[in-house]
Structure 1
């Protein structure tokens, strides 16, 4: 596993650890039984392994819990592995997704219904789980499922899928806040279904992996990939992840030199890799700020002054100018469009 010993990644690990431990405690699980390497260990490699082991343990516990609450057994690890093996026999990503859809249909309702939508050069991969109720544990499992598919698709192709946006059916953004640092894309909560949008051209891309490589991938998926994502995540996704992780805990956004140091790159190399991904640090920073601003305007009653301060703007006026540049309308007009009954003193 790649050693991620920089402070930004250490903070990201700690955010995820806290979220997983909190959910395990809510489920009644004994944290002392968790087979983890201490997150505060001096070795960054140990930290990555500790996160992966904790995440794996939490997913197993919560999968059983959510399944009991909804009246049917969960999809087993063996079944997930078998689905992935079937996908790996296909020639293209599009064919692999078709196999996954058919496999999950056979296991309905224990497995989610999978769907692929195509529109204007974009593909949207969706999961429709059959659940009687939603919960923070179910939200964590949905995120885990999405991470499995995002990383497995990237692994099959030998290059990142790079989602444009991630959708979560769960309505509470706070329950996914810790995962903003590993999703690497804007997150829309309260969607009709969970899924992610990506470049439809990838559906015709050839699968390059060999069967002999599959066992190692299945052992790592998705937990080790979250702790060490370099092979399945683009430079743009990693930068966006660090920016979103900072935003989620009200930390100052990292400068390009700090991010380059976190990725063990020079600033010039980082800029070059971002350019090859079709973006730049400034574009990713603006996207992160824009998405956070839209969330706060649509889902809180915070004043414009408070939102401006939270996002690091020098004044409400500076925030308004930036927001108009992003969206073509003022923050107040955007809020009224999203929330018509908001009181005037809240906008």
Structure 2
């Protein structure tokens, strides 16, 4: 419990490449335990584990590190060779520049660059990557490169802001949590901005550490939750910890005291991040409910009580509002998918 769930918009986006290649996506969804019917409802969400399984299934099916989303495929092993090529650089700035040059050798690959603007460093994705109309690949590149850079130097690099060259998508409220910083839209190119002083940081990883990291990459980098830079994410993590211990979630005043700020300050900072304490409490319960239904066989009444609902009917109403379906229907669809997947595997 406590892991954020993932919007169905990202599930649809990651499937686009397989669909273009004429692959049947239903078995891929079944492998991940994702009911195909969920894709028809914009409110639907999946667990991080389900999304990870889908990502890996697509990787195997497309034989492409870009999952068929780019204008040209990226052969398996390309990312690993880029990491090996950058590992011996003198500092992080040189590593980013070498990595960008490496991908520049491949026709149709991402056009990456590192620029310096005063005391800020700007990582840039300068092309639209061809057929990536959902911008999923461009966003993944920003996330993976940022987290790879943090991994190289053994420190989390706080992003100052991220920018994207398109209007806010329907799921734009997900972005501050994904990138851990303020997000701008309608920018000329896709960018991630951080303090330039990080560029002088030495690379601390060696070959054995790289080999271990690569065994689970790139999804391991994509799925890490180490940011907690926004106030909203700090609050969410505090609420998730509380829910693991008790169905009663703390009040705003209690959480403000834990974060050593006044209730008015906490309320104002959340408002600046376009969220609220009530929305965060709702999201924590939603994610825990989806995870409980997808990953276990706990009776629905017991799950409702564990999440702080005094009545089953209240839980059913909340779950329908969150996902567009009932807890029983969600679990039933997932069970059918799990059964189908097991049968296929045998």
Query: Relative to 1, partners in 2 of residues 1:79 and 1:227: Cα closer, same or farther, differing over 3 Å?
Result: closer
> CA shift at 1:203, angstroms?
0.5
Paired position in structure 2 for 1:30: 25
How many residue pairs get aligned? The number is: 253
Whole-angstrom CA distance in 2 between matches of 1:263 and 1:290: 28
Say whether the 8 Å CA contact 1:167–1:195 is kept in structure 2: yes
Provide the residue aligned with 1:261 in structure 2.
Answer: 242
Partner residue, 1:213: 209
Please show how residues 233-244 of structure 1 align to structure 2 within 5 Å. 233-237=226-230, 239-240=231-232, 242=233
Q: Tell me the residue number matched to 1:118.
A: 116
Unaligned 5+ segments in structure 1 are: 41-46, 244-253, 294-308, 312-347
**Is the 2:162–2:184 contact (alpha carbons within 8 Å) kept by the matching residues of 1?**
yes
Deviation per residue, 1:241-285 (Å, 9 max, x gap): x38xxxxxxxxxx57852653799x9799748xx9xxxx998786
Give the distance between the partners of 1:268 and 1:287, measured in 2 at CA: 11
Q: CA deviation at 1:187?
A: 1.5
Counterpart mapping for 1:190-201 below 5 A: 190-201=186-197
| Range moving further from structure 2, 200-209 or 122-131 | 122-131
Identify the residue that residue 188 of structure 1 maps to in structure 2. Answer: 184
Residue 94 of structure 1 is matched in structure 2 by: 93
RCO higher in structure (CA 8 A, sep ≥6): 2
More helix by share: 1
Quickly say closer, same or farther: Cα 1:30–1:236, change in 2 above 3 A.
same
Question: 3-state SS of the aligned residue for 1:77?
Answer: coil
Paired with 1:211 and 1:284, the residues of 2 have a C-alpha distance of 44
Which residue of the partner structure matches residue 219 of structure 2? Answer: 223
Aligned 8 A contact 2:14 2:55 in 1? no
Partner of 1:20: 10
Q: Residue deviations 1:277-318, cap 9 Å, x none?
A: xxx99878645533549xxxxxxxxxxxxxxx999xxxxxxx
User: Is the Cα–Cα contact under 8 Å of residues 37 and 53 in structure 1 kept in the other structure?
Assistant: yes
CA distance in 2, matches of 1:282, 1:119: 35
Alpha-carbon distance between aligned partners in 2 of 1:180 and 1:58, rounded to the nearest angstrom? 26
- Whether 1:51 aligns to 2:51 is yes
